[in-house]
Amino acid sequence: MTVTPPALDPSEIILGINNGPGIYIAPENTAPPADLTAEWPAAWIPLGYLSDDGPTLSSSTDSDTITPWQSTSPVRTVITGKALTLQFVMWQTTPESLALYFDMVAPTPAADGSVDFDVRSDGGGQIYSVGLDIKDGDLVTRITFPRAQLSDTGDTSFTRGAAVGWDVTLSALDNNGVLGHISSGPATAAVEGAAAAAEGEEDTAAAASAA
C-alpha cells in the first residue's frame, strides 16, 4: 500500500511583502521584467506608497448551468465570464496617481513640480499595463495585467491627521486570450548560483579523481 505523504510545507506559505516599490503602471502591453531578478524597465512607473492594507487581487468567474428536460439537476456548467481586478489606495499625490484616479492622461509637471489639468466629461478610458511585485525571503511573485482599465474608485477624504488616499480598482482587459500573467518562484540568481556551485563541485571531484 502506497501512502501519499501530506503536502504540508511551511516554506510555501508566503507573506505579501513588497519587492521594491511593489506596484507599477506602464503603457498598455509594456513588457514586464524578463525574469524574477530583472529590474523593472524604465517604462514602468512606481506608484509610491500605498495604504497599509496593501493591494487586493480579485478573481471572479461567472457561469450558467445547463439542465436537461429529463432532470432537475444540471449536467454541465458553462463559463460565461472571467475577471481579474487589482484594488489599492495610493498615499502619494503625484501626476500619475491623480491621473489614474481621475482617469485622465497624466499631465506633464511644470518646472516647479506643479500640475494643472481638467477632469473632462468627454475624456477617460485610459488603458495601462499594471504590475504587482512581492517577495518573501527568496520567493518572488509577480502578477501583471498586459491591459487594464480603471473600473472603480473609492471616496477620498481630506481629514486632519490622516493621509489622503486615492482608492482605485483596475480591471484586466482581454489581450488575445490573456487577462494576466503570473511568475512565482525562487530568485533566478539563487537558482543559477546553486547550479554553478554544483558544477564547481563536480569539476573539483573530477580533478581529484584524475590526480
CATH number at residue 130: 2.30.110
Average of pLDDT values for 114-142? 94
What is the count of structural domains for the chain?
Answer: 1
Predicted confidence band of residue 9 (pLDDT cuts 50, 70, 90): confident
Q: Is the dihedral of CA 148, 149, 155, 158 positive or negative?
A: positive
Q: Model-level pTM?
A: 0.82
User: What distance in Å separates the CA atoms of residue 203 and residue 9, rounded to the nearest whole number?
Assistant: 33
pLDDT at 135: 95
Average of pLDDT values for 106-134? 93
Per-residue pLDDT tens over the stretch 90-101: 999 999 999 999
pLDDT at 202: 54
Mean pLDDT across the chain: 89
pLDDT at residue 3 above 80?
no
Q: Which domain holds residue 158?
A: 14-66+74-210
Is position 23 within any domain? yes
pLDDT at 208: 52
Predicted confidence band of residue 198 (pLDDT cuts 50, 70, 90): very low
| Pure H helices in the chain | 95-102, 188-210
pLDDT at residue 195 above 50?
no
Task: Single out the residue of 181, 55, 67, 191 nearest to residue 129, CA to CA.
Answer: 181
Is position 48 within any domain? yes
Q: Hey, which residues does 81 pair with through a beta bridge?
A: 62
Q: Is 168 exposed, middle or buried (0-12, 13-18, 19+ CB in 10 A)?
A: buried
Average of pLDDT values for 53-59? 96
Is position 1 within any domain? no
189 Cβ neighbours under 8 A, 6+ residues apart: 37
